[in-house]
Structure 1
Amino acid sequence: MALMNGPEFAAGERCNGESSIHAIIGEPQSSATVILSRTTGSFNIPIISHSATCECLSNRKYYPSVFRTIASDYHQSTALAFMVKYFGWTWVGAVNSDNDYGNYGMAIFLNTALKEGICVEYSVKFQRTEIEKLKIVVDTIKKGTTKVIVAFLTSFEMNNLLDELCTQNITGLQVIGVEAWITASSMITPNSFRVLGGSLGFAVKQINIEGFADYVLNAFWDTAFPCSQTEGNSTQAELSCRKYQDLLVMKNYNEDVPEQRYSSNVYKAVYAVAHSLHSLLKCNEHGGCEKNVTIQPQQVVEALKNVNFTVKFGDRVWFDSTGATIAQYEVVNWQQDSDGSIKFTPVGYYDASLPPDQRFVLNTDNIIWVGGQLEAQGDLIARDRALLLCVIQPDSADPAFTNSWDAGRIWNGSGTGSIDRQK
């Protein structure tokens, strides 16, 4: 609170509002950003998050000082439904994290799926601490007739789900993922490819920031091998580092730097604040700025609304009316390399800045499907199990599911069309 309201104690019923900080970079998670903004909101301190994507944060009435260098999940959830429809999957299951991120994201997906004529056989959710509920979720997946699962989960819940699916040896699922976990290194385990091989999902664009890998690696070596910090005696430094010689020359460690997907968003957030302060201080191109200028956090909020610049790697940075940036995703596919390692192969993109008919592009020839197949398996429905009939009630926002059997045909979500079950 001292950071937000100044360090001095003062008598009075009201806080002075003179914050010693003018912006906060973070939090990464949506729920944490919601909590932080409720604390800082009264002081009008802007928060610039690099990965909080919940659509709830787009409400400027409740979060007027929250900005994001990542798009709202409104776009990702909508794009998920478009992807499902693109492949003709009219019968899917849905799992989400029971938090702000998962609940808002899944609600948008379900609403869009309904409009696109996609039936959702079940929609279940859990939190990372709900072990018994997780088992119920996995049991629902196991008993379900669809093999296409939309997983709107954080990496924490997805790790839990993956562990349980591996434990019960549940395979053959076509999993559709989100940016929170689809390229997370924590998903790569000895058994994960059996379950997630062939998965498709949206990921934050991978961008190479010039010099960043060297910076990270130098910081790592300075911490891990303090021998290099020996001052004033090069001979002593050489002797101290000799025991690490085999490690130092082993290989090119740039390969070990993780995919720089969110790092670029942090980079943009820092530069957005810098550009805002630059404008408020009336700095000129010669490096001169006005002195003795007092800047209030609310002024930074207003300045952030007007930033518009291009970073060195070519991306344009600006915030829309909700405080978020334009939606641009890579579509990645879980594949296995010749040496058995898992790779996230780009197979398309979604770019909301383009005309509607050009936003979603997929290169299906490059996709490896579940089980190593080269072609998608239609609706991927378990043919030997009973199918529920999905009926859209005209006065209801959600699909209604009955226990009626229609052994011969599978209907789409709108009830306007069907296909022969044996096709």
Structure 2
Amino acid sequence: MPGTTPSPARETETAWGVFLVFLRLGLSSFGGPVAHLGYFRQEFVQRRRWLGEAAYAELVALCQFLPGPASSQVGMALGLSRAGVPGAVAAWAGFTLPSALLMTLLALGVGAGIPAGVLQGLQLVAVAVVIQALWSMARSLCRGPLRIAIAVLAALLVLRWPGLQVQLLVMLLAALLGRGLIKPLFVAGLEVPSKPSSRRLGAMALGLALGLLVLLPVLAALWPNRLLSLFDGFYRVGALVFGGGHVVLPLLQAQVVEPGWLGNSLFLAGYASAQALPGPLFSVAAFLGAAIDGWSAALVCLVAIFLPGLLLVIGVLPFWQALRHRQGLQAALAGVNAAVVGLLAAALYQPLWRQSVTGPVELLLVLLALVLCSIRIPPWFLVLLGAAAGAWLL
């Protein structure tokens, strides 16, 4: 029936196979968290058919509720579903490694500047990818006037009152509206084994995530050490930020600028550079760590900021599989899925569209990229075309 998960292609079952798939995405996924969700949808829903449209939207909604980098957590969950915990780690490593290495080299003075036109071209490709993902998700998840109304309301509220708290309230309101007004049809979701052993592992992962959050500040106070203090600070940032992306900026600034580890100008230079590179924005942790104390600190900060999100994905998904079959939860998720479409629409308009499409040439390039997206041009080739067009025309 409509929305049912397609029969998955089982060619990628090993952690190494998952790593290679996500490494290619890590090399070509420009545009920030919202664009990443579009690239993931192209790769895993349309091309590889690992899961269906509704299951993917459900996964996106779940990761929006969890602390941590939402787009990276979607990737971790996909890796977990294909190759267990090693697959989750492999998905994170493949998607994060290119940008983390580039950020570390940039902080150490090796990286070279990227022409402004190339960066603009890459941003325009990201706009096209998000538009295509938004349109396809809206067709699947906003059927009927009620779900359309929820999506529009979510977009308007977030645009009028931007901020993390409003986003969380919008998701909660959508869940309540869905629970009370929507009668969903059950659809098959992401297949993650939910055996007693996996639930035990999930409980252990949740316990470890909470235990580290409580114990790390104590350990850092008892045994003063720069690397331990960095691990503590970046772990807390990863554990307390919801939605990822630009929300992480003030928390990271408090961790590295206020204690005097970095100057504000260097911090902002690293943050701006991260937005110009493929892969997760949280890779800025590698830049900050390297600028503070070289390669070792870069690795410590990078692992610390992503670890809470990884532990939460491993911990929540085994229990989620049992909970998601309940009709009340399905109804709430239907409302949340519609709200996710609205949040993506708001993020498309501000900041992606307003910052990227500033004239007729930019608009023409976005339309051209949309046409190429519609004929299933590989993302990496689209990225190369966008970079070349930006360098030539902008």
Which structure: greater strand fraction? 1
Q: TM-score when scaled to structure 1?
A: 0.25
TM-score, normalised relative to structure 2:
0.27
Select the structure that is richer in helix: 2
- Which protein shows a greater Rg? 1
Higher relative contact order (CA 8 A, sep 6+): 2
